[in-house]
Amino acid sequence: MKTLSLINFVVAAVFVACCCYQALYCLVRLFARRKPSEAARLCKYGVLICARNESAVIAQLLESLRAQTYPAKLLRVFVAADNCTDNTAQIARAHGAVVYERQNKLQVGKGYALRFLLGKIKEDFGEDAFEGFFVFDADNLLDPHYIEEMNKVFSNGAKAVTSYRNTKNFGDNWITAGYGLWFLRESEYMNRPRSLLGVSCAVSGTGFLFSPELLEKRGGWDYFLLTEDLEFTADLIARGEKIAYCGSAVLYDEQPKSFRQSITQRSRWVKGYLQVVSKHGGGLIRTMISTGSFACYDTLMTTIPACVLTVCSFAVNTGMFVLGLLGARGEMGVFFQSVLTALLNSYLLMFVMGLLPLITEWKNIYCPARKKVLCAFTYPLFVFSFGLAMVLAVFGNIQWQPIPHTVAVSIGDMGPRRRK
């Protein structure tokens, strides 16, 4: 059992060694500042929305797009009504969107819907109709200045830009709060420091903008893994492209409330991480070696260590527990001491990781103060539950499944926003 203590220590040490550079990211976020930029010009954009049975929420997104401060004549909204059995398409058309309906039960997922939508736009509007494309999920809401702010970064030369991701239903329970802190940390303690240091950022599912020229070498949208956003990110970084960050462009989205839905979604994320490493890991390593790209290292470290080390630790601790029950019960005290020490240290680390964005983004989190304080203590539990998602992803048969969205609120319900 003493061997178990050593193994758990080694696992923790390897994880810290792989991710310790993120402490620098925290310092950069807290102390470095970037001067705001002005738009070089006004670009013409297409807005891409892939929706599957989203009649409950899509109208609110389309209304928040209509309320943008950016000139309406430079925006065109497109919706892929993907395998819908409700009236999503009719609602989208009623709100002025160009809607294409798709029925394909074999090629399912957002990646296939995006390729379909971009293909239809190319057929009907031509290759050069838009200088950039935004990608949103149907449950998103946009701050009125969102596109105006994103254009400031894009028009000054960025080929891909990601934004600040907040949560519509942060205060529903500990799960939605966990997601909320996760994405706030990703936005402000990962992407903002990366941007300040000149390192490529990462796209996080929704709320990003890209130039169509990035897809030319791929023959169009060619990202169909379970996490098409990470695949898009990994491919761009492996090709030496850089994704910028716009923290003043604020997007809100809905998070799953049930633990079952959450684990299903996060198992898909983890499976997607493994798929991306399998497909693009070699390219990232080659680019890292040939060019010294820190962005490649960063991308690999945010996908591999957490998944691999968590599964290894789970397997080793489970094996030791079974062996202890079978033949070494006298040493079970050492087992429990080792596990409890590892859990306590991990809890404290995750607590600090959640506390930082909670403090700095306090005014941007819309829920009662007592719930904000409580979520600091439950955030480590949310992160720990990734362990179950990782085990299911490795040993289970994970497929893409839609997550139902039901939080139908307007951008005005989000309260006053602090623009950065």
CA torsion 267→269→272→278, rounded to 10°?
-90
At residue 199, the pLDDT reads: 96
pLDDT one-digit tens code per residue, 29-53 = 999 987 778 999 999 999 999 999 9
At residue 7, the pLDDT reads: 64
CB-based contact 110:50 (threshold 8 Å): yes
Q: What whole-number distance in Å separates Cα of residue 342 and Cα of residue 260?
A: 26
Q: What's the whole-number mean pLDDT along residues 391-403?
A: 82
Q: What whole-number distance in Å separates Cα of residue 217 and Cα of residue 204?
A: 22
pLDDT one-digit tens code per residue, 378-387 = 999 998 898 8
Which of 305, 242, 314, 235 has its CA nearest to residue 274? 305
> DSSP code of 413?
G
Q: Which residues pair with 80 in a beta bridge?
A: 50, 100
- Residue 185 structure tokens: 């940390």
Q: Lowest mean pLDDT of 8-17, 23-32, 146-155, name the range.
A: 8-17
**Is the domain 1-420 a CATH 3.90.550.10 member?**
yes
Q: What's the whole-number mean pLDDT along residues 162-177?
A: 96
Q: Which residues pair with 161 in a beta bridge?
A: 209, 244
Q: What whole-number distance in Å separates Cα of residue 26 and Cα of residue 355?
A: 12
pLDDT one-digit tens code per residue, 257-287 = 999 999 999 999 989 988 999 999 999 999 9
- Residue 270 structure tokens: 């983890």
C-alpha triplet 255, 27, 199: angle, nearest 5°? 75
pLDDT one-digit tens code per residue, 316-361 = 666 666 655 555 555 556 656 766 777 787 888 889 999 999 999 9
Q: Is the pLDDT of residue 419 over 60?
A: no
CA torsion 161→171→49→157, rounded to 10°?
-10
pTM score above 0.85: yes
At residue 400, the pLDDT reads: 79
**Beta-carbon neighbour count of residue 311 at 10 Å?**
17
